[in-house]
Each structure stands twice: as C-alpha cells, then as structure tokens.
Chain A
Amino acid sequence: MENIAFGLIVAITLGSALMVVMTQQLLYSAIALLFTLFGVAGLYIFMWADFMAGVQIVIYIGGILVLLIFGIMLTNKISSVNISHTSLQRRVGAVITLGVLGFLIPMITNTSWLQLSSEEPAQTADSIGRLLMMEYLLPFEVASLLLLGALIGAAMLSRNTN
C-alpha cells in the first residue's frame, strides 16, 4: 500500500515536472507546477518532514505559484487568448541536460552513502523551532532582513513612476 502511494507521488512529481518544461501553454506550465510542488510535499511526508510539507504547501503553492500566475496575467494582453510560449534550442538543451543527468546518476549509484538508521521523530515543528531560535538564530534574523529587503525592492521596482 505504502509502495503504491510512493510510486504514485513520484510519478505525479516527475510527470508534471516534465509537463512544466515541455508544454507550449504558459498557464498549463503553471498548473503542472502546482502538481509538482504537491508531489514534493508528499515526498517530504515520506521523509518524516511533515512540517516541511506544510511549509511547502503554504509558501510554494499559496505564495510563489499565485505570484507566478499573477505575473502571467499581468504580462499578457487580455485580448490574446492563447498565452503560449515557445522554446528554442531544444536539441542543445537536451544534450546538456542528458549530460548532467549522465553524470549525476552513475555518481549516485557508485558512491557508498553513509546511511544511519534513525527513529521516527515524535514532533518535528518543536525541534525545528528550537533549532531556529538557538543554533540558527543569526541566519534566521538575516533571512528576515532579506525578506524585508526583497519586499521593499519589489515594491520600488514595480510601482508606477508616472
């Protein structure tokens, strides 16, 4: 049962990721990206990272994807019914991509990875919160500063100067 669910999630993730980069309709790409992000959230749950899965759904699907769809809507004329986008140099891209994949797959297969058997954690959000507030306090504060800078920068860039 678990194996079937895992295979299904992997198939959804990779299949819709393929659609993101292949389809000629920009909105289809965005919708396919939604399924990819959901699939990745499912993979997180299989890795006992349920808090990360929640964050993935809230920030990626609720935030970034909506922002992307906003961008698609704002950069196309309403009159143009077909919001299509073309690809170029498919052959060159495929060669480079397969080259990278041909390097990564044997590397993963041949390396003897250290695998520790760990136990399923009782609570994840609690431990992550403790780490953020104690060990990683400085990166946490820097991240909040980065978000503030991005907020002001994006508002400055996109305001109408006229």
Chain B
Amino acid sequence: MDNLQTYLYISAILFSLGLYGVITRRNGIAVLMGVELILNSANINFVAFARFGGMNFSGQVFALFVIIMAAAEAAVALAIIINVFNNLDTVNIDDARELKL
C-alpha cells in the first residue's frame, strides 16, 4: 500500500485487461471501453510516480491532461460510431472496412 510497486502492478494488470478488450471485442463501443481502461492505467502510473518518484504535482497535472484527452477522444469516437451505425446499420468494427459507401 505504501510502495510504488503495488500501484505499478495494479496498473499493469489494468493495462493488460484493456488490451484484451481492445483485441477481442467486435463492438466499437466495447473497444472504446478497453481504451478507457488503458488510459486509466496510464493515469495510475502518473499519479503513482507523482506520489513516490518525486515528480510531485507535475505527475498529477499530466494525468489531468490525459483525462482531458480521453474526454475529447470519447466524444469524437462516439460521433464516428453513431455515423457508422447510421450508414451501415451495425457497430461491428469488422464490417466497417470500406472508406466510401
């Protein structure tokens, strides 16, 4: 609880789970959830190094920027997924392989 490694282990496991979700899921929104897990694991690392590695508050500011980026990414990705659904009637990312209809 009071050492760096514990948090790094947690974040490594969270990263692997997110990676597994990104690889295996077929639904675009589920893939997005995997990406959110990966971003969260990166954030845990940033805050852990801020707490234990002497980065102090700079680590937390970087995690803040990651959260801002995640919000922008989620908004744009969902707009794209809804567009794909309107055009193809599916959110299965394997079916969306053509650039032009």
Contact = CB atoms under 8 A, between A and B. Distances in A.
Interface of A: 2-3, 6, 10, 13-14, 17-18, 20-21, 26, 29-30, 33, 36-37, 40, 43-44, 46-49, 51-52, 55-56, 59-60, 63-64, 67-68, 70-72, 74-75, 85-90, 92-94, 96-98, 100-101, 104-105, 108-109, 113-116, 118, 121, 124, 127-128, 131-132, 135-136, 139, 143, 146-147, 149-151, 153-155, 157-158
Interface in B1-46: 1, 3-5, 7-10, 12-21, 23-30, 32-34, 36-37, 40, 43-44
A28 to B, nearest CB: 11
A17 B71 CA distance: 19
B40 A75 contact: no
Nearest to B13: A14
B71 A115 contact: no
Contacts of B27: 26, 85
Nearest to A132: B61
A101 B78 contact: no
28 contacts: A14-B14, A17-B37, A37-B40, A40-B40, A47-B7, A52-B43, A55-B67, A60-B36, A60-B70, A63-B74, A64-B70, A85-B27, A88-B24, A89-B23, A93-B20, A94-B20, A96-B23, A97-B16, A105-B9, A124-B57, A128-B60, A131-B58, A146-B68, A146-B69, A147-B68, A153-B76, A158-B78, A158-B82
Q: Nearest 10 CB-CB pairs, A to B? A: A150-B72, A21-B21, A157-B79, A85-B27, A93-B23, A93-B24, A104-B12, A158-B79, A87-B24, A154-B79
Interface string B54-91: 10111011011101111111111011111101000001
Contacts of A64: 36, 70-71, 74
A56 B72 CA distance: 15
Given A114-B54, A157-B79, A143 B65 contact: yes
Dominant secondary structure at the B interface: helix
B47 A157 contact: no
Contacts of A113: 4-5, 52-53
Contacts of B52: 113, 115-116, 118
Given A85-B26, A147-B71, A115 B53 contact: yes
Contacts of A71: 29, 32, 78, 81-82
